[in-house]
Structure 1
Amino acid sequence: TKGLFYVINPLDFQCWNHQNADEIRERYLYNINLYRRKIANGVAGNKGGTCPQGKNIYMLYWDCYLEMLAQKAADSCNEKAAAPKGYSLLMKKFTPTSCNPIPLPKQAVDEWWNVVKTVGLDSTTPMFSSEALRSFATLANGKATRVGCAHRNCNGEFYMACVVSEEAPPLNTQIYETGAGCANDSECTTYAESKCLWQKLCKAGYVGNTVTTTTKNI
């Protein structure tokens, strides 16, 4: 299958949080960027159809500092944990059937994203029209470039947390720009020195302490 996201090498994460594992980091990053790619290509699912196609949609980098903030939130064992100042926080609690957390990142990302399929976006303008869309608005945010996620087993319940930069847009504002996904670098205009990837996602210039993804044909 062409166009799937893979981390270049698990060692490239080089994060210092030993409570997490590169396989888990990869699963978060892969699934979030896969959904963002669908926005850029105009094929993301919506209630009764597809979400408006987006332009200036950026591939997310993994950020080790944001991962540590996510770990702090997960360690609180509280789904209502406050977001760190200047960032967005997503929390999800699972009662797993085993002690293996490997399947949970995809499950968490799917549940955060797929609220759009029950709440719905306007067919032409992707407005953050309802608080029920917050998790989708956080992951689909056109200004977002970085993410870090972590988890904690709290007495048999797994708390999954992701911290995203930039913050989600305010309620009743547009989540991302509409238009065709990029075809060349000049169409990636939100951040300096941006590049266009062949999946129609943009890649920001250096954003510090991050790991990105690449693609392979398999």
Structure 2
Amino acid sequence: MLPYSAAFFLLATFTIASAGVRRKRQAFGCTNTEITDAARLMFLNTHNEARLSVAQGAEPNKCGLLGPAKNMYKMQWDCALEQQAQDYIANCPSSLGSFSGYSQNIIRYTGTFANPLTGVASALTKWWSTVRQFGSNDPDNKYVDTNLYSFANMVHGKMTGIGCAYKVCAATNQLTVTCLYNKIGYYTNGVMWENGTACTSAGDCTTYPGSSCSGGLCVKELEQGDTGANTLCPSNANMTDASRKKFLDMHNYLRSRAANGLEPDALGGNAPKASQMLKMVYDCAVEASAIKHSQKCVYQHSTSADRPGLGENLYKTTALNVDRVATAAESSQLWWNELKDYGVGPENNLTQALWDRPGKQIGHYTQMAWDRTYKLGCSVQHCPTFTYSVCQYGPAGNYMNQLIYTIGNPCTSDAGCPGSYTCSVSEGLCNVV
């Protein structure tokens, strides 16, 4: 069982650099009447102020200070998460629930509660202060100590959505406080936050396309929810237009960053710029092939005979029934992260020596960045014991002793693209259609 808190803890004070998180009245627009906007603001500001303190390198660790951090995102209130949290604690439980694809912090107190917000403040402090008690000592800020479970959920840099609630059960003299978070913060060996410097401009915020910077925290562009619409490839069940769009947007966003020389390489500097990098298009036939393989719920690559002419990337998480859009974003980013985690080098050549490095797999990144590949089709499958993401690519990449992409300046006009292809100047990518 994951750790949770179910006892009173002495209040401690946060070290907060609050200039970037303004305390102001805010209308949240939630329909849940069990808590007030004042309580919502307390939950939200406490999280964001603490996250800002880490981003600025001002938050105490057990020894020294946490941070500074780059790509630390500002949390935004989610009324749907709040309602799920409120429904779950109707009878003041003390144990974690089953919220697939989400993280949860929970605590229950026993006593009298004339002012429940005092208990809320205590809960938030309890969850966060575990890092002062046990310390975060991994140099890459990885989650390696389950004692930091509640802290990891609060601090995870990619977390953007939060919904919290509290409930007083007068008959049993109990108060339960809980928060739900829109991502998993406690993946073993997952990076809780990236080492770096707090943002000062939108260009510093690279985790999510279209992000901005507000007072040292990155702000994710609001997305439309997944309505379940399936109009792009109606003959392919089990996928949605929103998840297709997320896969495609993530791939092209990252390819554009590579084309413009903006992607860090673990072997030094940034990966070289790319000339004639093709902009991907979504392909329903490729998707059908990816769906067919994902439905086997076997985490291994399909055979070349099963996907002639196509490359393939795989991802799985033991979290069940994770939202398809969230899985599309997470899997795409993790595949691409092989560049900054393991590196390719300035030669940009896929050699056997590079491919065979123990524990330094780079084939997911190289397939995503292969400049001649332009067809993309993906699937997210909810398997009995894991959530599975499969993307297939045409034409396939990852040929030994070939350049991942042609090095050079990205296109600035149609003349910079092959044949009849046109240039997407803002992206530095070549349109094939």
Q: Is this a same-fold pair by TM over 0.5? A: yes
Identity rate, percent: 29
Displacement, 1:9?
3.0
Instruction: Determine which of 87, 90, 95 is the counterpart of 1:80.
Output: 95
Name the SS of the counterpart of 2:82 in structure 1: helix
Residue 8 of structure 1: how far off its partner (Å): 4.5
Q: Higher relative CO (CA 8 A, sep ≥ 6), structure 1 or 2? A: 1
- The aligned residue for residue 89 of structure 1 is 104
Distance 1:14 1:33, change over 3 A: same
* Match in the other structure for 2:140: 125
Instruction: State the partner residue of 2:44.
Output: 29
Q: Which of the residues 102, 110, 115 maps onto 2:125?
A: 110
After superposition, the Cα gap between the structure-2 partners of 1:208 and 1:96, relative to the gap in structure 1 and judged at 3 Å, is farther
* More displaced stretch, 161-170 vs 138-147: 161-170
Mean Cα displacement is larger for which, 116-125 or 26-35? 116-125
Match of 1:183 in 2: 200
Q: Distance in 2 between matches of 1:124 and 1:81?
A: 29
1:1-218 residue pairs with structure 2 within 5 A?
3=19, 5-6=21-22, 8-10=24-26, 12-122=27-137, 124-154=139-169, 155-198=172-215, 200-207=216-223
SS of alignment partner, residue 9 of structure 1: coil
Return the letter of the residue paired with 2:185.
Answer: A
Give, in angstroms, the shift of residue 95 of structure 1.
2.7
CA RMSD of aligned residues (A): 1.9
String of CA shifts for 1:39-94, please: whole Å, max 9, x gaps.
11011110011113211001100110000111122224222132411100110112
How far apart in 1 are the matches of 2:104 and 2:18?
A: 31
Determine the C-alpha separation between the residues in 1 that align with 2:111 and 2:209: 43
- d(CA) in 2 for partners of 1:94, 1:9: 29
In structure 2, how many angstroms separate the alpha carbons of the residues matched to 1:44 and 1:123?
16
- Contact persistence 1:51–1:123 (CA under 8 A): no
SS for the counterpart of 1:103 is helix
Letter in 1 for 2:21: F
- Opposite residue 19 of structure 1, the aligned amino acid is E
Distance 1:7 1:29 in 2: 10
Larger Rg: 2
TM-score computed with the length of structure 1 as normaliser: 0.88
| Distance (whole Å) between structure 1 residues aligned to residue 125 and residue 109 of structure 2 | 13
**SS in structure 2 at match of 1:102:** helix
Shift of 1:184: 1.0
1:102 Cα deviation after fit: 2.0
Superposition deviation, residue 104 in structure 1: 2.4
SS of corresponding position for 1:151: strand
Residue of structure 1 in register with 2:292 after alignment? none
Runs of 4+ that moved beyond 4 A: none
Relative to structure 1, the CA distance from residue 176 to residue 2 in structure 2 (aligned partners, 3 Å threshold; closer, same or farther) is: closer
Helix, strand or coil at the partner of 2:151: helix
For residues 83 and 43 of structure 1, what CA distance do their matches in structure 2 show? 34
Instruction: State whether residues 20 and 150 of structure 1, in contact with CA within 8 Å, keep that contact through their aligned partners in structure 2.
Output: yes
Tell me the distance in 2 between the aligned counterparts of 1:72 and 1:81: 13
Shift of 1:107: 1.6
> 1:125, CA displacement in angstroms?
2.3
Moved more, 180-189 or 122-131: 122-131
Q: Distance in 2 between matches of 1:162 and 1:38?
A: 20
2:55–2:67 Cα contact (<8 Å) kept: no
